[in-house]
């Protein structure tokens, strides 16, 4: 998957991640704890969406991600999985810088996620915690399965791979119609890391350049609007 297609995939994944926190067919009391972790931010998100300037204000989006989204996503785990085997050879500073730029990439995606938002809803598929939870190393993991529904259109599936971190369920991968966010980014990162003289620092610099260009473009669009 090339960079352009990967961005489109990532855009949709983030859209449905946020969507999963907007409208659910089940009452919260009927959901298992991992499902509630996705549904929990719905009230806050609905409140923000009433602000017409929310979707075009990167600072507001960034604040929202840090306050509401980040507690339910394991950015460190996602970064580690995306970088793959190269993570072990990276210094702590390289890991920290990569995670920072990767998170900005996520935030940029959120800033466009609800443009053209329509009448969507999310069905959480039944989750039997006694059967679904698996033991992974020193913690527990589970997959939350959902179906995205929009009137007049075919539904599609989006699954959240989650694990228990310090007593909280956090997402570490999102699988859209069988396609993993982590695997797609790992393929791209691995391709760049396989080039002569490559390093995680150079990959991070590439992401940083992309982020700066996109944010500058966003600022120009905001001035013209």
How would you write the pLDDT of the chain (225 residues) with one tens digit per residue? 444 444 444 455 555 555 554 445 555 658 899 988 887 755 566 577 667 677 667 777 778 778 877 888 899 999 999 999 999 999 999 999 999 998 888 676 655 555 555 566 778 899 999 999 999 888 999 999 988 777 788 888 889 999 999 999 999 998 888 888 888 889 989 999 999 999 999 999 999 998 888 777 766 766 666
CATH architecture of structural domain 3-224: Roll (3.10)
Helix (H) / strand (E) containing 104: helix 92-110
Domain locations in the chain? 3-224
List, as one string, the DSSP characters of 108-149.
HHHTTTTTT--S-EEEEPP--HHHH-EEETTEEEEEEEEEEE
Q: Which backbone phi and psi does 171 adopt, to 5 degrees?
A: -80, 135
Q: What angle do CA 124, 129, 21 make, to 5 degrees?
A: 30
Q: Which of 154, 161, 164 is nearest to 178 (CA)?
A: 161
Q: How far is CA 185 from CA 78, 84, 120, 174, in A?
A: 10, 10, 27, 12
What local confidence, expressed as pLDDT, does residue 202 receive? 95
What local confidence, expressed as pLDDT, does residue 193 receive? 92
């Amino acid at each position: 998957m090339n960079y352009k297609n990967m961005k489109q995939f990532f855009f949709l994944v983030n859209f449905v991640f946020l969507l999963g926190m907007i409208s659910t067919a089940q009452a919260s009391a009927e959901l298992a704890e991992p499902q509630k972790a996705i549904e929990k931010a719905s009230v806050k998100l609905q409140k923000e969406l009433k602000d017409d300037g929310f979707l075009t204000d990167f600072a507001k989006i960034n604040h929202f991600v840090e306050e509401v989204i980040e507690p339910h996503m394991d950015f460190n785990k996602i970064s580690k999985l995306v970088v793959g085997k190269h993570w072990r050879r990276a210094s702590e500073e390289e890991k920290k810088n990569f995670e920072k730029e990767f998170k900005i990439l996520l935030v940029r995606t959120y800033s466009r996620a609800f443009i053209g938002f329509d009448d969507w809803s999310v069905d959480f598929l039944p989750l039997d915690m006694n059967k679904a939870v698996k033991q992974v190393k020193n913690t527990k993991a589970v997959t939350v399965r959902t179906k995205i529904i929009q009137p007049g259109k075919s539904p599609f599936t989006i699954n959240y791979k989650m694990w228990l971190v310090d007593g909280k369920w956090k997402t570490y991968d999102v699988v859209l119609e069988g396609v993993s966010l982590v695997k797609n980014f790992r393929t791209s990162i691995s391709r760049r890391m396989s080039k002569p003289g490559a390093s995680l620092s150079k990959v991070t610099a590439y992401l940083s350049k992309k982020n700066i260009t996109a944010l500058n473009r966003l600022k120009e669009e905001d001035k013209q609007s």
